[in-house]
Structure 1
């Protein structure tokens, strides 16, 4: 896709160090000539569709996520029109990972903690969005914050340099990037579908092993739990608190990011499908680490657990130490005389714990578990020697599946990196797409992907990531 593109024939110095050389016929203008702020309050509850900025996209907020906010709270929100550009402006110094720019496709309302922008006649709306999107993807936007907490205001954004080609050329750029993005999303969606199928196969292996063991002829007995049914003789149902030495909850906020800090802050976004991912974590200093580990410091062999956003993800604490928890995080320290750490991890993803959490959450995927609900999690416990054999069995059966999943995840990461570089190079005039755009076929419904790329494995949804806490009144 990119191999057919060439640089522009004539370039000039932009006068902006990070932009460098730009096409000779492009204008360099301050953002105030291209964007203007827009804030119309939702007085009188004119609009009831609540929108959310999630992973760089403006989406309609699910009904279940609105619980706890009474309708009057939405009068403080601002009305958003299709084409508006939404900017998450807060806390730049503590969160340099989440995407902060979104492009509204629907009319609705969104928290006034965000900035809402319109484009002027100087640029096509889609080009204006893609240009700010490039600032976001390249993290250039973080250099424009002000104030103690490094928040963005329009007075900060208005001084950003914006490159402005002709409308015809903007249209070619938008057309090319839209075509490229659809192809990339389609490929990513296919790989994500494969990952989901492989993870389902892995879950079947885990479910069988942690509820029936390895002996297909084992004698069963009633579990005493109505919805669980029979379990192997010699197994017991025990509460989490009775088989752990420690169950440590996080503080109610996340420590400050310190780029040159020696300690890593683990957030809910670092834990997915039983795996620990460092992408999306950040560093902090000794002072913050000491404060955030007053209740205890996670150690190798402990199990991380997310109590919200989302609920119920878990992984083993990796080796190396130096980790502290952000908000909505917990860790469990199993009693080794009763419970193998990896058996606990598999059990969390097994049917008994999943069913328990589903009942406690009343079927919601976006709720949260209280500490008492977590310590009461029921576990099927067998002798430790049998737990160890079950863990070895699951590891062996899952090895090939894990390899394919890991390879697909790496390919998705590379595709996303490629997309970021492509967007940045095109909107900043490093690559000429005019001829390529002219050769593209007209887009029709048959060319649209059947499935949309999701970002569940990327950053997943921490309320402090991609969204801010919604202001509102508890019901």
Structure 2
């Protein structure tokens, strides 16, 4: 990636008087957005003009199976080359130039460019700096209901170069952002392969052990397959007590307290490598003690049994305070940790074998849910305790190694995305000068 500081600059700059633009090239025209766009407000039907979706990835055809409204005036017309932006803050960044005629919902603003290259306008109006300015000039009661109307948008100051320069900047950014996105995609694929590798190692370790030459036998459970001949299998209900909260017993939001000695955990707290107790909410002593069966202890295994994150698990370790859980989490309390180690059980829950069964259950219902009876009838392999400890140490070592590489790749992706954001902002506001040679490189 080229260093932005080393890229060419314009000879003369002037202060735009606008914070989001800063100093701009003296040769660029400082104007208002409304001088370069006309709002398109024609109302049409999605029967006559195919429905389009406005997303962070741009303006895309709506899915074929989406319902048609058959209402003649409920949508806005979009023509090829128009810039479309969702005016709601909860859709921040959803915008782009349409490559086809169509229609969008009324919440969107449709702009017809005039005297501005459509692709330059896309890079300009999708730049991080402009997006922030766009929502700054809007209005609303709360952040997620914040809306920016066209009469507010049209007053935003922009700085525009000649059409020749616009074309050059647009071509440069098209080329560079494609290269950057390809680099990001390669690193994301590497992360995916590393996570897949980790999953394979966990699967092999918890179902086949660490000795590749050990005699094997059928486990008697189709979804587990073969296990070492000297291992046993056991239903969860014979290894542990499975408990969960029956609703909140009338608990209301106003009963949550700012701080107490009694925390409660939800899915966001347990979805990480280690449980984030520091992010726990707090409840009163009475609410904690009313459900003694789910008071947490070190060694408990937590399993998400409701919602889209069904199947996530973690082990309670180094419990810093008295804690309980919300109704989406099942608490698995092992009868004998000298027969089944909590971390071995956690790894088995994370294995491809059990996650596949959970996924099948999840896909078969409207609201994903595991009943306690489902969990009780799950089956886990039962290696000798010494082998469980060896498996735990082996998987931990592999996890640490692979997770370290994944973390480094994620940081690289973050840096590349920051560079992309800065590159676009710099190009469309004239902080760097795009020469013909840079486009050809």
TM-score normalised per structure 2: 0.70
The CA deviation string for residues 154-194 of structure 1, in whole angstroms up to 9 with x for no partner, is: 23322222222211111111111112112212221222222
User: SS state of the match for residue 175, structure 2?
Assistant: helix
Partner of 2:361: 360
Contact residue 248 and residue 331 of structure 1 kept, 8 A:
no
Partner of 2:380: 380
Partner of 2:148: 153
| Residue correspondence of structure 1 range 137-286 to structure 2 within 5 A | 139-150=132-143, 151-154=146-149, 155-214=151-210, 216=212, 217=214, 220-224=217-221, 226-231=222-227, 233-238=231-236, 244-246=242-244
* The structure with more helix, counted as a fraction of residues: 2
1:33 matches 2:27: no
Matches of 1:57 and 1:401 in 2, distance apart?
34
Matches of 1:388 and 1:230 in 2, distance apart?
20
Do the aligned partners of residues 373 and 337 (structure 1) sit closer, same or farther apart at CA in structure 2, a change above 3 Å counting? closer
Q: Offset at 1:314?
A: 6.2
| Residue correspondence of structure 1 range 97-112 to structure 2 within 5 A | 99-105=93-99, 111-112=105-106
User: SS state of the match for residue 392, structure 2?
Assistant: helix
Contact residue 241 and residue 247 of structure 1 kept, 8 A:
no
Question: Which of 1 and 2 has higher RCO (CA within 8 Å, sep 6+)?
Answer: 1
User: SS state of the match for residue 235, structure 1?
Assistant: strand
Equivalent residues, number: 400
In our comparison, the structure showing a higher alpha carbon Rg is 2
Partner of 2:23: 21
Contact residue 305 and residue 371 of structure 2 kept, 8 A:
no
Do the aligned partners of residues 79 and 426 (structure 1) sit closer, same or farther apart at CA in structure 2, a change above 3 Å counting? same
1:134 matches 2:127: yes
Contact residue 91 and residue 149 of structure 1 kept, 8 A:
no
Matches of 1:136 and 1:310 in 2, distance apart?
34
Matches of 2:82 and 2:166 in 1, distance apart?
18
Do the aligned partners of residues 86 and 313 (structure 1) sit closer, same or farther apart at CA in structure 2, a change above 3 Å counting? farther
TM-score normalised per structure 1: 0.66
Partner of 1:465: none
Do the aligned partners of residues 416 and 375 (structure 1) sit closer, same or farther apart at CA in structure 2, a change above 3 Å counting? farther
| Residue correspondence of structure 1 range 383-398 to structure 2 within 5 A | 385=385, 387-398=388-399
Contact residue 21 and residue 429 of structure 2 kept, 8 A:
yes
Matches of 2:296 and 2:97 in 1, distance apart?
39
Do the aligned partners of residues 384 and 416 (structure 1) sit closer, same or farther apart at CA in structure 2, a change above 3 Å counting? farther
| Residue correspondence of structure 1 range 67-78 to structure 2 within 5 A | 70-72=67-69
Unaligned runs of 5+ in 1: 256-262, 323-328, 443-475
Contact residue 144 and residue 152 of structure 1 kept, 8 A:
no
Corresponding residue to 1:45 among 34, 47, 50: 47
User: SS state of the match for residue 232, structure 2?
Assistant: coil
Matches of 1:277 and 1:86 in 2, distance apart?
42
Matches of 2:216 and 2:114 in 1, distance apart?
76
Unaligned runs of 5+ in 2: 254-262, 322-326
Moved more, 11-20 or 419-428: 11-20
Q: Offset at 1:40?
A: 5.8
Do the aligned partners of residues 218 and 45 (structure 1) sit closer, same or farther apart at CA in structure 2, a change above 3 Å counting? farther
Partner of 1:335: 333
Partner of 1:464: none
